[in-house]
Amino acid sequence: MGIVDKFGIQAKAYWFFWNGVDWLFPPECIGCGKEGAIICPECLHGMMRAELNSCIYCGVKLPKRGVCTRCGHIPHAIHELRYVAAYQGVMRTAIQRLKYERDLGVGLELAKMLAQIVQVTDWQIDLIMPVPLSEKRQAQRGYNQAALLAYPLSLQLHLPENTKGLVRVHETRSQVNLNFQERQENVQGAFCADPSIVKDKTILLVDDVFTTGATINAAAAALRESGSKRVYALTAAKALGRQVTIENAPAFDV
């Protein structure tokens, strides 16, 4: 009851603030520039949305929701991963605004989409955690873009958020030019979780983008090692990596 009340008041203050901002400064669509919404209905409609009938780990389209042959051969620390849309078009613009310009209004719009996804699952979440940056990178950037999604999402879902129980203990080199195998090795042991916070909990890990899922699985592995019961993963976007391109992307409604 206490927790619900606290979240109710925080959430109301947050919406009140952002509605006030929208009233004072009507937003322009980040996709087409039209006035009225941060992402207008047309641009929203144009996103390459994730398919429901797809692999629970990588999003590849399947006849029904399950595990694809490739993921069937790889151990996963997460129980299920979901995402909103492909990392292209207006979704790419949104994430870049969040990541490089700390655009909190965009974070709120994306958090609403993330909340809609969680609301149709049977996930019984205890704690929402953003995938952390290393201390050094966070100090350089001044914020963690994943936390700019996790916080408004926690208010939407009335669930607690925690940014202390999972830390990135060593710097990993940029994943951009690495293949799947190299990505997994690059992030192995990069995270450490606090059992006093995560033990016996079902955790929802939140990040902006995933490519192969190596980072999110490394974070989930640290949580599982510290006694987390289940770990679900939710990202705003899936990068169209080497294995998945627009031409062969079975995961998306093109």
DSSP string, 197-230: HHTT-EEEEEEEEESSSHHHHHHHHHHHHTT-SE
252 in contact with Zn ion (CB under 5 A) = no
CB of 78 to Zn ion, least distance (A): 12
Binding to Zn ion, residues 23-42 (CB under 5 A): 29, 31-32, 40
CB of 131 to Zn ion, least distance (A): 19
Please select the residue that binds Zn ion; options are 38, 47, 48, 58, rule is CB under 5 A: 58
Q: Which stretch binds Zn ion (CB under 5 A): 65-73, 95-103, 107-115, 245-253?
A: 65-73
71 in contact with Zn ion (CB under 5 A) = yes
CB of 71 to Zn ion, least distance (A): 3
Q: How far apart are CA 73 and CA 130, in angstroms?
A: 27
Amino acid found at 158: H
Q: How far apart are CA 53 and CA 166, in angstroms?
A: 31
148, two tokens: 């700019």
Contacts within 8 Å (CB) and 24+ apart, 1-5: 3/158, 3/160, 4/158
CB of 176 to Zn ion, least distance (A): 21
Please select the residue that binds Zn ion; options are 47, 48, 55, 157, rule is CB under 5 A: 55
Give the residues lining the site for Zn ion (CB under 5 A). 29, 31-32, 40, 43, 55, 57-58, 60, 68, 71
